[in-house]
Amino acid sequence: MLPTPKKFTICAGAAEGAHELNAFDNALLNAGIGNLNLLRVSSILPPAAEYVEKLEVAPGSLTPTAYGYIVSEEPGELIAASVGIGFSEDSFGVIMEFSGECSAKEAEAAVREMVEEAFKTRNMKLAKVMIKAVEHRVETCGCAFASVALWY
């Protein structure tokens, strides 16, 4: 079993690329998380995890990450990705991700609603919400990416 992460950083970025995977990779680089090996995880923020604004992880590190992204090859299309974290007063948090053909504002609203529902379903009191979103107007092949990186 991996150790429980003690820190978290919220990242978001958007970019173009010659191919879908390049657009995704460039969005990761724009978000400041492109030189890591992301291990996609589900939606729980460990209790007492500390928010750190800047990710301080060595290149190539295996990094548990909850993320959402969208790639589009439709010129002119507006795409967005968002992550939200709901915090309880004395327990774990819940992370939600969203991506779609919409604005950052719409992505933020969607992820906030998802966080609220997750807390309601768990019968937990929501104390605070942190949200980060990014939008991108596609030129040829674009990607919007948002994540919560969990680290040690």
Q: Which of 20, 22, 43, 91 is catalytic?
A: 43
Identify whether 16 is a catalytic site residue: no
Q: Which of 30, 97, 99, 147 is catalytic?
A: 97
Q: Which of 35, 37, 113, 139 is catalytic?
A: 37
Q: Report DSSP letters for 44-105, one per residue.
A: EEPTTPEE-SS----TT-EEEEEEEEEEE--TT-EEEEEEEEEE-SSS-EEEEEEEESS-HH
Q: How far is CA 105 from CA 23, 61, 67, 98, in A?
A: 22, 32, 18, 12
Q: Are 83 and 148 in contact (CB under 8 A)?
A: yes
Identify whether 97 is a catalytic site residue: yes
Q: Are 109 and 97 in contact (CB under 8 A)?
A: no
Q: Which of 42, 50, 53, 123 is catalytic?
A: 42
> Rg of the chain over CA atoms, in angstroms?
15
Identify whether 37 is a catalytic site residue: yes
Catalytic residue ranges: 37, 42-43, 97
